[in-house]
Structure 1
Amino acid sequence: MAEIAVQLTTQQMRELEEMARANGFSATDLASSAFSDGLARMYALPSTGGVVVPFQGLKTAGKGTKA
């Protein structure tokens, strides 16, 4: 897997390490998981379960249309 370099401030690194310790992870594992989850939320399309919804026309003629 490709590596991604991230620069964190001292405060950000301290917070990452505290959160990792509190959840039983290493800082590297927690950061990797956070990046993976973020990318999945941004780029993965939701699953539709194979359901196809057809387009439906208007039920009645609207204003300005010929019926």
Structure 2
Amino acid sequence: MTMSARLLTVDQVAELLGTTVRFPRRLIEERRITFVKVGRHVRIPEPAVEAYIATHTVQPTERRYGKVA
């Protein structure tokens, strides 16, 4: 993470992921995503969210029809 990385609030991360705020809070609680404590506030670096998305992206598989040889 660079010092110029944008720090996002939990609400912003939830909106970015299309989830409720409960999901990013759970990621933080379970230490499944990098976060920064700023006093009592929690911020998530934007590159950490991008890395989480990249890591959990599932690629489609090629479907084979017919009998398996």
Q: More relative contact order in 1 or in 2 (CA 8 Å, sep 6+)?
A: 2
Structure 2-normalised TM-score? 0.32
Structure 1-normalised TM-score? 0.33
Greater helix share, structure number: 1
Larger-gyration structure (1/2): 1
